[in-house]
Amino acid sequence: MQPYSGRARLVGRDEHSNVMELCRQLAIENALFSMDESKVSDMMSKAYDRQGGILAGIGDKGHLEGIIFILLTTFWYSNDPYFEEFFLYVTPEHRKSRNAVELLRFAKWCADESGYPLFIGILSNHPTERKELLYERQLKADDYKGRFFVYNTKIKAA
């Protein structure tokens, strides 16, 4: 296994309060449903406790500029593992940086080193054209295998 050579690094439990702060910002910007802090915290524990989750970030401890969370999982019909990207979030003040590219590069490295496929989608309450173009450049347009469609987005959050 080749060591990762970029700026992204694994994020640990000692940065949990900063991670949750970014998750709250992400939820305000993009969530379709209300955020359950306990559920989010439990999911981040899968990375902290090395239970199939990988949480990587850019920035100093306590001052994360962006994070990505991927989870090694399987589809409902198969036992073949793949990495599912749950989110990639860069704070608004760092969006003109190369942080999103670096976090995507880290996720691709995880897939390359493990041999497992990486599934990434875009789901947002805001226009996604710029993010789609970024992903096309970084993940190669011919790698598209589908798109997300969301129907009845006026469902009441619990």
CATH number at residue 62: 3.40.630.30
- For the cut 80, the answer to whether the pLDDT of residue 133 exceeds it is no
Mean pLDDT, residues 111-131: 77
- For the cut 90, the answer to whether the pLDDT of residue 50 exceeds it is yes
Q: How many CA atoms lie within 13 A of 98 on its CB side?
A: 7
Residues 76-101 have pLDDT tens digits of 999 999 999 999 999 999 999 999 99
Burial of 76 (0-12, 13-18, 19+ CB in 10 A): exposed
Written as one string, the DSSP assignment of 69-134 is: EEEEEE-TT---EEEEEEEEEE-GGGTTSSHHHHHHHHHHHHHHHH---EE-----SS--HHHHHH
How far apart are the C-alpha atoms of 12 and 19, rounded to whole Å? 9
* Residues of the domain holding 44: 9-143
Residues 8-45 have pLDDT tens digits of 999 999 999 999 999 999 999 888 889 999 999 999 99
Residue 157 lies in a domain: no
Predicted local distance difference test score (pLDDT) of residue 10? 98
Residue 62 lies in a domain: yes
| Whole-number average pLDDT of the chain | 87
Count of residues in the chain: 158
Q: Between 134 and 110, whose confidence is greater?
A: 110
How far apart are the C-alpha atoms of 135 and 100, rounded to whole Å? 9
Residue 55 lies in a domain: yes
Residue 137 lies in a domain: yes
Residue 148 lies in a domain: no
- For the cut 60, the answer to whether the pLDDT of residue 158 exceeds it is no
Residue 130 lies in a domain: yes
The count of structural domains within the chain is 1
Mean pLDDT, residues 124-140: 66
Residue 112 lies in a domain: yes
Residue 136 lies in a domain: yes
Lowest mean pLDDT among 63-67, 75-79, 85-89, 139-143: 139-143
